[in-house]
Amino acid sequence: MAALGVNIDHVATVRQARRTIEPDPVWAAAEAELGGATCITFHLRKDRRHIQDRDAELLKKTVQCKLNMEMSLDEEIVGIALRLRPDQATLVPENRQEITTEGGLDVIAHADRMADVAKRLGDAGIVVSAFIDPAAAQVAASAEAGCCAIELHTGAYANACLAGSSMPDQRKQADELAELRQGLESGQAAGLVVHAGHGLTYTNVGPVAVMKSFAEFNIGHSIIARAVFVGLRDAVAQMKRLIE
């Protein structure tokens, strides 16, 4: 059964809007686990716009399921990951202007740096994953760089809407699903564990979940948005039922 990784950055975003102590993403992680999360995901960004160093340290001490740290290839952040030793590190691109992670990491362009970082993280016992677009060349480069896993970027599928509308463009969605299926197959053929994430919601997760072979889904915004109304424990349980 696929793991459900709940991304708790959005809780920290609300806290940082007031630079106060609440809501605490560490509490959110505990609530998410009580709702059935099997992985807690956080992104310690270079600009510390949401998760803070204190959060990362407390998450490491308190999370009882798998802890997945999203991180860039920046040396300061790599040093923190090596000290913290999360169970898994998902290498992502980072751009200070973006609202959220926009595209997949270009593993081909950063091949040398990727191989160096993947080796150091791997030597520290951390499972290394790369967040990539579902392109065969990026999948191959991730395996070549020494990653054990990849997370396929589901944003193009999730955002496939009719022009000027929020209604799904079913033809475009079908094309993007076919790309994801191909990425999944090439990842497995290369011996990689394949995850998926970004932009997944209660309404669009179904067609990705039925592909069955994804080992992990990382979902944040939609779960935290629903939690505002139903509570985090329920929101996680509802998503877990959908991916099962």
Q: Which residues bind ligand PXP (CB under 6 A)?
A: 7, 9, 43, 70, 90, 92, 100-101, 131, 151, 197-200, 218-222
Helix (H, G, I), strand (E, B) or coil at 241: helix
Taking the complex as a whole, the smallest distance from the CB of residue 138 to ligand PXP amounts, in Å, to: 14
The active-site residue, picked from 10, 31, 50, 70, is: 70
Q: Which residues contact 239 (CB under 8 A, 6 or more apart)?
A: 4, 202, 205, 219, 222, 223
* 43 catalytic residue (yes or no): yes
* 195 catalytic residue (yes or no): no
The active-site residue, picked from 94, 179, 198, 216, is: 198
Number of Cβ atoms within 10 Å of the Cβ of 229: 8
* 221 catalytic residue (yes or no): no
Retrieve residue 38's tokens: 């099997």
Task: Identify the residue whose tokens are 């999203």.
Answer: 70
Taking the complex as a whole, the smallest distance from the CB of residue 199 to ligand PXP amounts, in Å, to: 5
The active-site residue, picked from 10, 43, 50, 195, is: 43
Taking the complex as a whole, the smallest distance from the CB of residue 91 to ligand PXP amounts, in Å, to: 9
- Our measurement of the distance from residue 39's CA atom to the centroid of its chain's CA atoms, rounded to an integer in Å, reads 10
Crossing angle of helices 9-18 and 25-34, rounded to 10°: 150
List residues with catalytic annotation: 43, 70, 198
